Amino acid sequence: MTDVAKHSLDDLLAIMARLRDPQDGCPWDVQQDFASIAAYTIEEAYEVADAIDRRDWDDLRDELGDLLLQVVFHSQMAKEAGLFDFSDVAHAISSKMRRRHPHVFADVRYADAQAQKQAWEDIKTAERAGKGELADDSALAGISSGLPEWKRALKLQQRAASVGFDWPDPQPVLAKLAEEVEEVRAEFADGADPGRLQDEIGDVLFVVVNLARHAGVDFSAALRHANAKFERRFRQMEHLAITDGAKFGERTLAEQEQLWLRAKALEPKS
């Protein structure tokens, strides 16, 4: 770490300590706790992903700073509570990386990437045992319940696949998706019971995550792209409607659909 980088990190730690000072700090920062800050931490991680997706490297620098601030914020609150501080966080992750990469930091050698992946899981299992966690022999052990649900679905599917419970290619996944969609359709035909619809739509979403996995597509990135595409086209529709002399919300549904087709036609061909 360069002197400039070290100085900058020390500055950031000092700034957060000052913000949290009960007497001279910022009232908002002083009032926060781990639970109230958690949502901001998640939000900042997504903003990092968005900057990468847009290939905006200046924004990525700023968003990484915002994410680092979250780590510093949690570390300062932990320090105040006598739990740990930022140096403990840095030490813990450094130790973990060395421990989980014996093929880099020690003399261990793996036959291939699959063997390395299995060793990684074995090391994590040993770590959980070392913490005194209850023994769990399931292939699904250790998957956090705090993950976004789509991410947890992906982790569950990857773990199941690691012990052979998986479709061989995307085709049967597509067939399963069609089957699940038909079950949703049947629920609507039978009266659309809210509980059953939640169950069946959940099955559809779970299979969609699985389809993305088999296709080698990042589910989160795909959904971000879909959101961006919808927003781009919707804003174009609003612009077209105003240009034609009336607000979008004043148009009939049929007219809005025509605007949607025009907006799609205006997009450059990929």
pLDDT at 131: 74
Q: What is the pLDDT of residue 92?
A: 94
> Residue 45: what pLDDT?
92
Q: Residue 2: what pLDDT? A: 58
Contacts of 114 (CB under 8 A, 6+ apart): none
Write the DSSP string, 74-91: HHHHHHHTTS--HHHHHH
Q: What was the pLDDT predicted at 70?
A: 97
pLDDT per residue as tens digits for the range 238-254: 999 999 999 999 999 99
Q: Look at residue 4 in the predicted model and tell me its pLDDT.
A: 60
175, 173, 176, 182: which is closest to 212 by C-alpha?
Answer: 173
What single-letter amino acid sits at 28? W
Alpha helices in 20-148, H assignment, sequence order: 27-31, 34-54, 57-80, 86-100, 102-105, 113-130
CATH 1.10.287.1080 fits 3-99, yes or no: yes
Residue 90: per-residue pLDDT: 96
CA distances (Å), origin 102, targets 121, 122, 124, 147, 233 = 13, 12, 13, 27, 50
Give the pLDDT confidence score for residue 116 in this predicted structure.
85
Sequence-ordered list of residues with C-beta below 8 angstroms from that of 237, at least 6 positions apart, any chain: 248, 256, 259, 260, 262, 263
Nearest CA among 148, 20, 3 for reference residue 72 = 20
CATH of domain 136-217: 1.10.287.1080
Those residues of the chain that have pLDDT short of 50 are none
Euclidean distance between CA atoms 69 and 16, whole angstroms:
8
Tokens standing for residue 240: 């077209």
- pTM of this structure: 0.66
